[in-house]
Amino acid sequence: MQYDHILIRYGEMSLKGKNIKQFIIRLQENIQQKIKEFPNAKVKRTQGRMFVLLNGHDPEPVMDKLQNVFGIHSLSLAIKVENDLEKIKEASLYALKKNEDIHKFKVSVKRIAKDFPIRSQEMNQILGGHLLKNTEDILVDVHHPDLEVKVEIRMEATYITSSVVPGLGGLPVGTSGKSLLLLSGGIDSPVAGFLAMKRGVQLEAIHFHSPPFTSERAKQKVLDLSRQLTKYGKAIKIHIVPFTKLQQEIFREMPEDYAMTIMRRMMFRISERVCEKESILSLTTGENLGQVASQTMESMHTINEVTNYPIIRPLITMDKQEVIQISERIGTYETSILPYEDCCTIFVPKSPKTKPKREKVNYYESTHDFSASIEEAINGIETVKITDQSNVEESFHDLF
Ligand code: ATP
Ligand code: MG
């Protein structure tokens, strides 16, 4: 006997009214895509939930993949047997014994197929007795069990499940449209990307790169972070913007204490152009209120002036420690803390304005024409498509 099914519950999505159908179909596609390396495994929908039919694959590696799919509330390994008392007994015992450190259990039978001759209450007793007889040092405790063996007798078959494993929650990636993630090599932006994905957002990314001040290694780091994010969703297109010339021009032509603010505004302007090209309707950043000079209220107000696209800032109110915890959990932390040169850290002015004013920035910007350098940066964008299977799938230079 072996677990042959994984039961998938999708909680929050069941509240989504008339969108529900589209959400469920997307979830099913996302799951099928995530487990495509297990060729025999199939995803099936039934009333209010889904199953993965393992068709001979080991359950654990499939389960690991499913734990990274947004939209899944919880998961359980399950066994499907005929509606036959002996088979149900055998499968219940298997499900109980598969779990370690169980001292107290309970059996919960739900009889949906009313033509099954034994009623739920009686089944609870029969199965409870069977499990007690065939195990040692285990008691029944209906109030505080370590494990609940759930038996669902349906028309087509009986399903037996035991432990419930939490899923990632959230909404299936792709159900909330696309956002362009401003991805640096730091700790914050990958976490911001993960949290946007959690709400069903599909990501593309943009990275501002300033060779030779920032190295190939810094660029590789951002590609690696993108690949880590694909673990939770789909392939990610990342647009790498050659930023050196524009950045040098800003630092040469603008007052030093405003250069940082103007550089950020340029990032948003260029990002918005990429959005237009790619039919993306929002930006996502790792900004966090009060963390550094560029993230004061005044600074955000001034930087934000150049775009009216919605900006998703999932980290805006978080403490650094909370961000680090998520980053460790999702597997980006180790990469993020590798030493690297960010275009923003290379050109840090000695004393950036912590309260930059819109009027002043607009005045300074009006004294110099940056448009040629902006166009040059945009025309030089390299787009790389990252999948979770390979390092780099394809790289091209023809976005604009
Ligand atoms: P992170 O840890 O994400 O680098 P941070 O705390 O270092 O963030 P900043 O350097 O002020 O903060 O950057 C704020 C946000 O601006 C980043 O989270 C990211 O979304 C964006 N950003 C900064 N530098 C770059 C870059 N080189 N390319 C793309 N986006 C960037
Ligand atoms: Mg940074």
For the segment 73-86, the average pLDDT, to the nearest whole number, is: 95
Residue 339 has pLDDT above 90, yes or no: no
Residue 387 has pLDDT above 80, yes or no: yes
User: Do 161 and 184 lie in a common domain?
Assistant: no
User: Do 320 and 237 lie in a common domain?
Assistant: yes
Chain position carrying tokens 């169980």: 102
Nearest CA to ligand 1 atom 31: 184
DSSP secondary structure, 148-193, as one string:
EEEEEE-SS-EEEE---EE---SB-TTSS-EEEEE--SSSHHHHHH
Quick count: other Cβ atoms within 10 Å of Cβ 241?
23
Joined together, the tokens standing for residue 173 give: 């990636």
User: Do 243 and 391 lie in a common domain?
Assistant: yes
Tens of pLDDT, residues 254-268: 999 999 999 999 999
Looking at residue 15, its pLDDT comes to 58
Say how many Å lie between the CA of residue 250 and the centre of ligand 1.
Answer: 18
Looking at residue 227, its pLDDT comes to 95
Nearest CA to ligand 1 atom 11: 294
Residue 392 has pLDDT above 60, yes or no: no
Nearest CA to ligand 1 atom 21: 182
Residues lining ligand 1, CB < 6 A?
A: 182-184, 186-189, 206-208, 285-287, 291-292, 294-295, 342-344
Distance CA 284, CA 280 (A): 11
Total tally of structural domains belonging to the chain: 2
What Å distances lie between residue 363 and 119, 300, 350, 360, CA to CA? 80, 18, 22, 5
Nearest CA to ligand 1 atom 17: 286
Confidence of residue 270 (pLDDT cuts 50, 70, 90): very high
Nearest CA to ligand 1 atom 30: 182
Say how many Å lie between the CA of residue 154 and the centre of ligand 1.
Answer: 53
Q: Which of these three, 166, 195, 223, is where a domain ends?
A: 166
Residue of 180, 181, 182 with the most ligand 1 atoms within 8 Å of its CB, for mutation: 182
Q: Which of these three, 142, 166, 190, is where a domain ends?
A: 166
User: 94 near 130, Cβ under 8 Å?
Assistant: no
What is the extent of the structural domain holding 73? 5-166
Looking at residue 1, its pLDDT comes to 83
Secondary structure class of 93 (helix, strand, coil): helix
Beta-carbon neighbours within 5 Å of ion ligand 2: 184, 186
Confidence of residue 393 (pLDDT cuts 50, 70, 90): low
Give the number of the atom of ligand 1 that is nearest the alpha carbon of residue 315. 18
Say how many Å lie between the CA of residue 207 and the centre of ligand 1.
Answer: 9
| 222 alpha carbon, closest ligand | 1
User: Do 208 and 342 lie in a common domain?
Assistant: yes
Distance CA 44, CA 26 (A): 13
Secondary structure class of 367 (helix, strand, coil): coil
User: Do 58 and 136 lie in a common domain?
Assistant: yes
Tens of pLDDT, residues 356-374: 999 999 999 999 999 999 9
Distance CA 60, CA 364 (A): 59
User: Do 199 and 314 lie in a common domain?
Assistant: yes
In DSSP terms, 74 is beta-bridged to 9, 166
Tens of pLDDT, residues 169-213: 999 999 999 999 999 999 999 999 999 999 999 999 999 999 998
| 285 alpha carbon, closest ligand | 1
Joined together, the tokens standing for residue 1 give: 């006997």
User: Do 276 and 161 lie in a common domain?
Assistant: no
Residue 172: inside a domain, yes or no?
no
Say how many Å lie between the CA of residue 276 and the centre of ligand 1.
Answer: 21
Looking at residue 197, its pLDDT comes to 98
What Å distances lie between residue 301 and 238, 291, 306, 361, CA to CA? 27, 15, 10, 12
Say how many Å lie between the CA of residue 187 and the centre of ligand 1.
Answer: 9
If you average pLDDT over every residue of the chain, what do you get? 92
Residue 350 has pLDDT above 80, yes or no: no
Angle, alpha carbons 250-254-259 (nearest 5°): 65
